[in-house]
């Protein structure tokens, strides 16, 4: 039956041997929107997705996906969802086209329809040229796109994307984001897990932050960023005796009269709001003829989200350059 | 068109009881395409049995039967039995790889029967076993082996061997689903298969074994298959070689009983393991 809620998780609990992967996780995905599930490795993101995609049964709690209970009517759910795992689950020894035709036929499409749908998806995902090459010869980005195409074969109402860009380089990540936006524009509801605040910010209408199997925040990206705080501007003057002048410039652009931190290794840092501060500082430094060896604007990291939300440094949270993979299932 | 959402404008075949068969066939086609594309994956059903035949014929032939020629009727059927058992490790490894690479997750997220991926894998293996038997009989013929009965008995033997192979395959499939690596699958399956193949009548008459081993060898499912093949293929006039004067009904019945036992025990366990796998 049609409802305004595409996905509803209600108190999901799941344990594996002695680890409690989920300790009562609840959230909703309104129809036609994107929910970003943000969390570090081992937070329980993948476990939640696997329960919603009917691959795992919850120990307790309830989940309604596309109007059907995942435990009571899994095959009704499966008819209406697409799943893209963080490990691209395509058959490497088949070509891209064969993979998609196979999925189509498994979805009961007539062979000619399955072929047509495969061609359509290959075209959409820029894979037409490589369509008849074996998937093992695809690059990481192509494989992700093929995997995503496979999960869209049956025109699902809801798509689960489990860390769709983990391990992709930044340019490929942006491509993937465009594809996700495209899917959403066609009316599909999306549940996306990610380790990157930036990604959730770029794609999600709402963000759920989970850690150690619990939801620790559920908010819009905007508000979450406001909670987390501002960006940090860092400047390292070339000459130590220009330090006071640098400090004065930074104090001027600081958010709401925030203090300039004591220099660490000769580096000053100050919280700022917006990119304009960066240009402002560059201009003033030049006007004052102060040379700097380092100048950078840091976005709030996932680490800072957790620091703000939990008050504890989350040691498992990955840094920006870290592309470790989640192994929580 | 690529409109998504609640409207399913997909020309689909309505879901029904034939789904399982159709989905299994789609997945069997997948195995066949892969077999076709990586022929080196067929070494275990082509070159290895030829090598075993040549080695065994010239090493054991004289000692066991007095001459290579006299050993061939025993050996060809024995090697088919042995290699059917050995070739079954392939399906376990394949399933393990599918699981590791996340392809099974894809299948499990689709509205298809949970049996289809397993049944499809078994179905796709038929080609391997047909190839194996053809090559073995061909090699036998080149060395001087002859089917002493008629074409119907011969084909009956081929069908029986394939049924046996497909039933036995559920064991390695279960191991493939439970083991944590492909190497482990190989180790566990071969550890079980070596006693099964050698403590049997495949290469030597069981009368030469100590009593306790002969008892095991005579009850061994593989012995029943090999015995059935000998009875179906060999000229009853050969007497001692066929050892049962062309009476094939009893070994065939025993072989089919074992097939039923394999499927009854391992298929439900394999399906359960497949469903449970996180």
Residues 6+ positions from B195 with CB-CB distance below 8 Å = none
Q: CATH number for the domain including A239? A: 3.30.70.980
Given this model, what pLDDT does residue A100 score?
Answer: 96
**Residues A252-272, buried b or exposed e (16+ Cβ, 10 A)?**
ebbbeebebeebeeebbbbbb
Q: Looking at the domain assignment, is residue A322 inside a domain?
A: no
Q: How far is CA B60 from the centre of its chain?
A: 25
Which of A69-83, A98-112, A197-211 has the least mean pLDDT? A197-211
Per-domain boundaries in chain B = 19-31+39-276
- Which residue of chain A has the CA closest to B99? A89
Do both A274 and A133 map to the same domain? no
The mean pLDDT of A228-243, rounded to a whole number, is: 79
Cα separation values, A293 from A128, A276, A282, B172, Å:
47, 20, 12, 63
Q: Which residues of A touch B4 (CB under 8 A)?
A: 152, 155-157, 183, 186-188
Q: How many CB atoms lie within 10 A of CB A322?
A: 10
* Band (A327; pLDDT cuts 50, 70, 90): very low
Do both A38 and A102 map to the same domain? yes
Given this model, what pLDDT does residue B246 score?
Answer: 54
- Which residue of chain A has the CA closest to B116? A106
Q: Which B residues in the span 179-238 are in contact with A, Cβ-Cβ below 8 Å?
A: none
The mean pLDDT of A242-251, rounded to a whole number, is: 85
- Which of A155, A179, A186, A327 to mutate: most B Cβ within 10 Å? A155
Distance from CA of B174 to the nearest CA of A (A): 19
- Which residue of chain B has the CA closest to A183? B4
H helices, E strands: number in chain A:
11, 13
Q: Looking at the domain assignment, is residue A215 inside a domain?
A: yes
Q: Is the pLDDT at A237 greater than 70, yes or no?
A: yes
Nearest Cα to Cα of residue A203 among A35, A2, A4, A1: A35
Q: Looking at the domain assignment, is residue A328 inside a domain?
A: no
Do both A83 and A170 map to the same domain? yes
* Band (B6; pLDDT cuts 50, 70, 90): very low
Do both A148 and A287 map to the same domain? no
Given this model, what pLDDT does residue B37 score?
Answer: 86
Nearest Cα to Cα of residue A158 among A322, A318, A3, A313: A3
Question: Is some CB atom of chain A closer than 8 A to the CB atom of B6?
Answer: yes
- Residues B109, A83: C-beta atoms closer than 8 Å: yes
The burial class, CB within 10 Å (0-12 / 13-18 / 19+), for A245 is middle
Distance from CA of A43 to the nearest CA of B (A): 17
Q: Is the pLDDT at A226 greater than 90, yes or no?
A: no
Q: Is the pLDDT at A256 greater than 80, yes or no?
A: no
Q: Is the pLDDT at B7 greater than 60, yes or no?
A: no
Nearest Cα to Cα of residue A317 among A165, A202, A209, A203: A209
Question: Is some CB atom of chain B closer than 8 A to the CB atom of A3?
Answer: no
Q: Provide, rounded to the nearest whole percent, the portion of chain A with pLDDT above 90.
A: 39
Nearest Cα to Cα of residue B229 among B162, B167, B141, B170: B162
List alpha helices for A206-312, DSSP H. Answer: 221-228, 243-253, 276-287, 302-310
Higher pLDDT, A318 or B221: B221
- Which of A93, A138, A326, A327 to mutate: most B Cβ within 10 Å? A93
CA distance A155 to B6: 9
Do both A237 and A177 map to the same domain? no
Which of A201-210, A273-282, B52-61, B216-225 has the least mean pLDDT? A273-282
Q: Looking at the domain assignment, is residue A321 inside a domain?
A: no
Last residue of a domain, one of A177, A201, A226: A226
* Band (B2; pLDDT cuts 50, 70, 90): very low
Host domain of residue A280: 230-299
Q: Which B residues in the span 95-124 are in contact with A, Cβ-Cβ below 8 Å?
A: 101-103, 105-112, 116
- Residues B23, A106: C-beta atoms closer than 8 Å: yes
Last residue of a domain, one of A226, A256, A275: A226
Q: Is the pLDDT at A119 greater than 70, yes or no?
A: yes
Q: Looking at the domain assignment, is residue A327 inside a domain?
A: no
- Read off the pLDDT of residues A120-178 as tens digits, 9 standing for 90 and up: 999 999 999 999 999 999 988 888 889 999 999 999 999 999 988 887 888 888 888 99
Torsion angle (degrees, nearest 10) of CA B56, B61, B64, B69: 130
Say how many CA atoms lie within 13 Å of B156 toward its Cβ: 20
8 A C-beta contact, residue A166 and residue A325: yes
Do both A126 and A251 map to the same domain? no
Do both A177 and A250 map to the same domain? no
* Band (B240; pLDDT cuts 50, 70, 90): very low
- Residues B5, A188: C-beta atoms closer than 8 Å: yes
8 A C-beta contact, residue B222 and residue B248: no
The mean pLDDT of A45-64, rounded to a whole number, is: 92
- Computed over every residue of chain A, the mean pLDDT equals 84
Residue in B14, B26, B34 nearest the CB of A105: B26
Q: Which residues of A touch B278 (CB under 8 A)?
A: 16, 50, 55-56, 329
Q: How far is CA A269 from the centre of its chain?
A: 28
Q: Which residues of B touch A82 (CB under 8 A)?
A: 109
Q: Is the pLDDT at B3 greater than 50, yes or no?
A: no
Nearest Cα to Cα of residue B129 among B49, B234, B23, B229: B49
Residue in A91, A94, A156 nearest the CB of B4: A156
- Residues A188, B112: C-beta atoms closer than 8 Å: no
Distance from CA of A276 to the nearest CA of B (A): 40
The mean pLDDT of B269-273, rounded to a whole number, is: 91
In total, how many domains does chain A have?
2
Do both A247 and A217 map to the same domain? no
- Which residue of chain A has the CA closest to B97? A91
Residue in B13, B37, B102 nearest the CB of A89: B102
- Residues A75, B111: C-beta atoms closer than 8 Å: yes
Question: Is some CB atom of chain A closer than 8 A to the CB atom of B34?
Answer: yes
Cα separation values, B236 from B76, B80, B242, B247, B254, Å:
16, 20, 6, 9, 20
Nearest Cα to Cα of residue B43 among B87, B103, B88: B87
- Read off the pLDDT of residues B37-71 as tens digits, 9 standing for 90 and up: 888 888 888 888 899 889 988 888 888 888 888 88
Do both A210 and A279 map to the same domain? no
Given this model, what pLDDT does residue B276 score?
Answer: 77
Residue in B5, B19, B110 nearest the CB of A187: B5
Q: CATH number for the domain including A48? A: 3.40.50.300
- Which residue of chain B has the CA closest to A106? B23
8 A C-beta contact, residue A79 and residue A154: yes
Q: Looking at the domain assignment, is residue A135 inside a domain?
A: yes
Given this model, what pLDDT does residue B101 score?
Answer: 84
Do both A58 and A132 map to the same domain? yes
Do both A264 and A152 map to the same domain? no
Q: Which residues of A touch B105 (CB under 8 A)?
A: 55, 83, 85, 89
Do both A97 and A213 map to the same domain? yes
What is the β-pairing status of strands A206-211 and A34-38? parallel
CA distance A42 to A36: 16
Given this model, what pLDDT does residue A138 score?
Answer: 92
Q: Looking at the domain assignment, is residue A98 inside a domain?
A: yes
Cα separation values, A34 from A31, B2, B33, Å:
9, 19, 38
φ/ψ of residue B93, rounded to 5: -65, -40
């Amino acid at each position: 039956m049609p409802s305004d809620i595409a996905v509803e998780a209600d108190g999901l609990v799941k344990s594996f041997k002695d680890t409690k992967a989920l300790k009562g996780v609840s959230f909703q995905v309104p129809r036609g929107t994107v929910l970003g599930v943000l969390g570090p490795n081992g937070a329980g993101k993948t476990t939640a997705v696997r329960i919603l995609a009917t691959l795992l049964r919850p120990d307790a709690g309830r989940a309604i996906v596309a109007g059907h209970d995942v435990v009571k009517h899994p095959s009704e759910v499966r008819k209406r969802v697409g799943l893209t795992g963080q490990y691209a689950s395509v058959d490497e020894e088949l070509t891209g086209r064969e993979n998609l035709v196979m999925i189509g036929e498994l979805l009961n499409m007539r062979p000619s329809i399955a072929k047509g749908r495969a061609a359509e998806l290959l075209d959409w995902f820029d894979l037409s040229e490589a369509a008849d090459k074996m998937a093992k010869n695809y690059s990481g980005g192509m494989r992700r796109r093929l995997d995503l195409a496979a999960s869209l074969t049956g025109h699902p109402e809801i798509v689960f994307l489990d860390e769709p860009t983990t391990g992709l380089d930044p340019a490929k990540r942006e491509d993937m984001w465009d594809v996700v936006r495209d899917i959403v524009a066609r009316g599909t509801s999306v549940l996306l897990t990610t380790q990157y605040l930036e990604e959730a910010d770029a794609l999600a209408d709402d963000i759920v932050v989970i850690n150690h199997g619990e939801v620790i925040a559920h908010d819009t990206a905007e508000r979450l960023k406001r909670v987390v705080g501002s960006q940090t501007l860092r400047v390292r003057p070339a000459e130590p005796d220009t330090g006071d002048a640098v400090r004065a410039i930074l104090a001027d652009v600081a958010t709401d009269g925030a203090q300039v931190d004591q220099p660490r290794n000769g580096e000053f840092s100050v919280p700022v709001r917006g990119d304009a501060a960066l240009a402002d500082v560059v201009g003033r430094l030049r006007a004052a003829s102060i040379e700097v060896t380092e100048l950078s604007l840091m976005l709030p990291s996932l680490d800072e989200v957790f620091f703000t939300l939990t008050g504890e440094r989350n040691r498992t949270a990955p840094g920006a350059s870290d592309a470790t993979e989640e192994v929580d299932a | 068109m690529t409109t998504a959402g609640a409207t399913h404008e997909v020309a689909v075949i309505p879901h029904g009881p034939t789904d399982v068969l159709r989905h299994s066939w789609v997945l069997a086609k997948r195995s066949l395409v892969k077999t076709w594309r990586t022929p080196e994956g067929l070494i275990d059903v082509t070159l290895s049995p030829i090598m075993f035949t040549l080695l065994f014929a010239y090493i054991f032939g004289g000692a066991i039967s007095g001459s290579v020629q006299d050993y061939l009727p025993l050996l060809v059927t024995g090697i088919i039995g042995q290699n059917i058992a050995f070739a079954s490790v392939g399906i376990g490894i394949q399933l393990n790889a599918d699981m590791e690479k996340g392809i099974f997750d894809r299948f499990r997220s689709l509205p298809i029967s949970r049996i289809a991926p397993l049944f499809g894998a078994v179905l796709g293996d038929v080609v391997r076993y047909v190839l194996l038997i053809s090559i073995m009989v061909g090699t036998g013929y080149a060395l001087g082996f002859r089917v002493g009965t008629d074409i119907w008995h011969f084909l009956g033997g081929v069908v029986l061997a394939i049924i046996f192979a497909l039933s036995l395959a559920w064991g390695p499939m279960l191991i493939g689903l439970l083991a944590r690596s492909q190497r482990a699958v190989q180790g566990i399956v071969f550890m079980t298969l070596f006693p099964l193949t050698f403590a049997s009548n495949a290469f030597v008459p069981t009368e030469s074994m100590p009593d306790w081993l002969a008892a095991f060898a005579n009850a061994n499912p593989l012995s029943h298959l090999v015995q059935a093949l000998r009875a179906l293929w060999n000229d009853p006039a050969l007497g001692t070689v066929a050892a049962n004067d062309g009476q094939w009904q009893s070994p065939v019945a025993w072989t089919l009983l074992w097939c039923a036992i394999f499927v009854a025990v391992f298929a439900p366990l394999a399906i359960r393991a497949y469903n449970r796998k996180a």
